Amino acid sequence: MTVPIITDRTSRSGSRLRYLHQVFFSAGLASASTIACFYYLLAHLSREGNLGGKGFEYFTYWYFGLRAGVRINSFCHLPPNNVFGYTCAFLSTALALALVFFLVLRGVERTRIGHAILDPVAPVIIFEILPLVALIAIGNTSAILDSAPSGFHPVLLINSVFRDLGRFLLLN
Amino acid sequence: MGVFFFLTRKWVFPLPFGILLLAIYFGFFAWAYFGRDSWLIWRNIREFLGMNLAFLLVGPLPGLAWMLYARAARRNPPETFVPTGLTRRTFAYTLVLMGLCLTPWLPARNQSVGRPKDINSVTIGLKRGSCFGMCPIYTINIHGSGLVEYQGQRFVGAKGLKTATITADSLAKLLGSFDQEQFFALDDRAFENCFDTPYATITISVDGKSKTVTGDECMAISGPKAVLRDLAQKIDDTAGSLQWVECKGRCQY
C-alpha cells in the first residue's frame, strides 16, 4: 500500500480550497434557502390573497421584509418603495444565513460528518437543489403574476429544460 | 445523481469530467436566465433584483469551488490539510457581521401612551384618503380635552368642519388600544402596497412623542396591517364619525 506523500504546500493549498468551498457552498445554500422562503411567501400572498383565504397570516411575515426594506430606504433617504432597500434586505438576510452555515461548516470541518458534508453531500445540494430552487423561483414568479401556478410547475419547467436542450442539440 | 456522487466519492475524476459537469450546470443557469421562460424573471427584474443578483452571482460559483476542492481532497485525504477549524477571531467577526445583517429586521421599540403626563398634550388624528372609486375622504382630530374635530371633504354625508365632544373614559380607552396594539412599534410606511384601495393615516401625539403610520386596506385581514385598520376603526367609533360620514341619500361630492 502506498501512502501519499503530503507536502506542506499541498496541505496548505487543500486548506485554502476547503475554505473557498465552505464560503461558496454556504453562500449558495443560503441564497437558495432565502429565495425559496421569499417566493413561498410571495406565492401564498398572491394566490390566497386573491381568494381571501386564511393565507393572510403570510402577510405578517411579509411585513417584516417590507419593514426591513423600508428602513434601509429611509436610512439612505430613498422613497419607501425603492427596490434598493428590498434588495439590501434580501441580500443581508441571505448573508446572515450564509454566515450561520459557514460557522457550522467551520465548526464541524475536522469531523467525519464535516468531511462528508463537503464531499459528497455538497455536490448533491449544489447540482440538484440549487437548480431546483431556480425552477421553483421561475414557477412561482409566473404564478404570482399570471395566477396560473399549474402552467409553470417545476416539473413542467424541467421538461422545458430538456425540450430546449434537445432542440439546441438538433439544430447544432 | 445523489447516488452517483455518493458511489464515486473516492474517485479522483479527471478534469474534463469536472468541466463537463460544470458546463451542464452553467448551461442550466444560462437557460434559467436566457432560455424560453427567462422572461418570467427578467420582466420582474425591478421587483426581484436581489434574488436574481444572488442567483446569478452565487448560484454557479459553488459548483466550481466544489470541483477544485473535491479533486484536491480525493488526491490527498482532507484530514491531511492544515487544520484551521473555527478560531475565536473568525467566530467573533462572523457574529458581528451577522448582527449587522439582521439589524434592519429587529422589531421596533414600543412606547406607552396609555397614561399621558399631560392629557392636554394628546392629539389623535385619522385621515381617510381617496381610492379608485367613491370612498369617503375626511379628517378627524381628537384632542386631550375631549374635543372632536371632523373635516369632511368628498363622498361624505357632511362636508366641512363639524365638532363634538367625547368623555375622558372614551379617550382613555382609545389610548389603551394604542398601547395594546403596540402602535409605536409599527413601521411608518410599510403598509402602502395598493394604489386603488382607500388609505388611512393615523397620527398620535402624546407628551411630545408623536408617530404617524399610513396604510391602505389592501390585504388587511390579519397581522400588523389589520392592527392599523382596527385602530382606524376604533378612532372612527370613538369619535362617532358615522353621523357625518354616512350618506343619507346622495353623498356630497
Whether residue B145 contacts residue B164, with contact meaning beta carbons closer than 8 Å, is answered with no
One domain, residues B123 and B87: no
Size of interface A-B (CB pairs under 8 A): 258
One domain, residues B91 and B191: no
B253 within some domain:
no
Residues of chain B predicted below pLDDT 50: none
Provide the domain count of chain B.
Answer: 2
CA A14 to chain centre: 26
B251 within some domain:
no
Residues forming beta bridges with residue B214, ordered by sequence position: B201
Q: Helix A57-75 to helix A83-107 angle, to the nearest 10 degrees?
A: 100
Reported as type and span, the H/E element at residue A145 is: helix A130-146
Note whether B5 contacts A123, CB cutoff 8 Å.
Answer: yes
Question: How far is A167 from chain B, CA to nearest CA, in Å?
Answer: 12
pLDDT value, residue B221: 64
Q: Concatenate the DSSP letters of all residues of A65-106 into one string.
A: HHHHHHHHHHHTT--TT-HHHHHHHHHHHHHHHHHHHHHHHH
One domain, residues B179 and B132: yes
One domain, residues B28 and B95: yes
For residue A21, the number of C-alpha atoms closer than 13 Å in the C-beta half-sphere is: 30
A166 is written with which cell numbers? 434537445
Choose from B48, B80, B102 for mutation: most chain A CBs within 10 A: B48
One domain, residues B127 and B239: yes
Of B48, B65, B82, the CB nearest to A11: B82
How far is Cα A115 from Cα A109, in angstroms, rounded to an integer? 6
In chain A, domain spans: 16-171
B21 within some domain:
yes
pLDDT value, residue B162: 92
- Tens of pLDDT, residues B29-53: 777 777 666 666 565 555 555 666 6
Residues of chain A predicted below pLDDT 50: 1, 48-56, 144-145, 147-152
One domain, residues B141 and B70: no
pLDDT value, residue B124: 95
Q: Which of B166, B127, B2 is nearest to A124 (CA)?
A: B2
Q: Which domain holds residue B207?
A: 119-245
Amino acid identity, position A9: R
How far is Cα A100 from Cα A93, in angstroms, rounded to an integer? 11
* Backbone phi, psi, residue A159, to 5°: -60, -40
Question: How far is B188 from chain A, CA to nearest CA, in Å?
Answer: 9
- Report ipTM (2 d.p.): 0.73
One domain, residues B123 and B241: yes
How far is Cα A43 from Cα A142, in angstroms, rounded to an integer? 9
pLDDT value, residue B74: 85
One domain, residues B84 and B156: no
Question: How far is B85 from chain A, CA to nearest CA, in Å?
Answer: 5
Q: What is the β-pairing status of strands B199-206 and B160-165?
A: unpaired
One domain, residues B144 and B233: yes
pLDDT value, residue A150: 43
B111 within some domain:
no
Amino acid identity, position B244: W
One domain, residues B134 and B72: no
